[in-house]
A and B are shown apart, each in its own frame.
Chain A
Amino acid sequence: MTVEERVRAFIADNFVLASSDGGLGGDDSLMDLGVMDSTGVLEMVAFLEQDFGLDIQDTELLPENLDTINAIVRFVGRKQGSK
């Protein structure tokens, strides 16, 4: 599975609104759509750290890294590239 497919699968399995929402656009805001709340951010971070072996700092918990599927994919790519 690609990074995007793994992220989409995680969202569909874990965020209640996402599973019944049909397709989330890659640039749709997970926060603004109510898909992810602050607890969801913690779940997303735990998923990315565990499944991709990342070490995510508090300073990286930013909308530009985590608010859309495309942003998450880019963030994971940057983090993996810097390891």
Chain B
Amino acid sequence: MTAPAIAVGGLRHSYGDLDVLEGVDLEVAPGTIHALLGSNGAGKTTLIRILSTLLKADAGEARVAGHDVASAPAEVRAAISLTGQHSAVDDVLSGRENLVLIARLRRVPDPGAVADALLARFGLTEAGARRASTYSGGMRRRLDIAMSLIGDPRVIFLDEPTTGLDPEARREVWAAVRALADGGTTVLLTTQTLDEAEHLADRIAILHEGRIIVDGTLAELKALIPAPTVEYVEKQPSLEEVFLAVVGAKEMP
């Protein structure tokens, strides 16, 4: 088996008295899409921020692309890309200028050509010369993700990449993420929408009360609750039901 792209062991973090991560263990295989599910405040963003070197863990170990996030943050940063919850786009610059800026910061040869290629790939060629502030939510997200791809990072973190997008824009983002993994990039994405995890992820981990309580493929997760009893119609459990069952929610919607 190849070395994991992301390896997290016993990771802890608290904000003052509030323990957010209480010993997270997680492994993500290279070239796969791993979804991190959890309720609001479960600590998904905290975990992503630690893995992308924006935040220091209180305890535990985290290695990304073979480098320790605490002792070798520069090597980690060279290997990763982060698309945070708030779109990290410069509103005053045009879409193309945003891409050129990141390409220059990453010392990519011929930033202009890289920018044009990404604009074309994400359907933004026509909007490329317009200021990013004029973009729709979906266009901003696509630009944001396009900016994350510059320099071909081996690991990409997507923190709730489709929050606030309409279904069509969501599908566009899904296609882009799928294409990334097909190209060999490792993707760790957080989401609250369960069908997103169901559609995209090779493996799904559920973060609840500071720990990963379940980690497996969709089929493995579905096997966690008893097979449906056959009465009149067979009803396969949806991932949403699995999620609510394993986190121990009191009532079904």
Q: Do A and B bind each other?
A: no
Interface residues of B (CB under 8 A from A): none
Interface residues of A (CB under 8 A from B): none
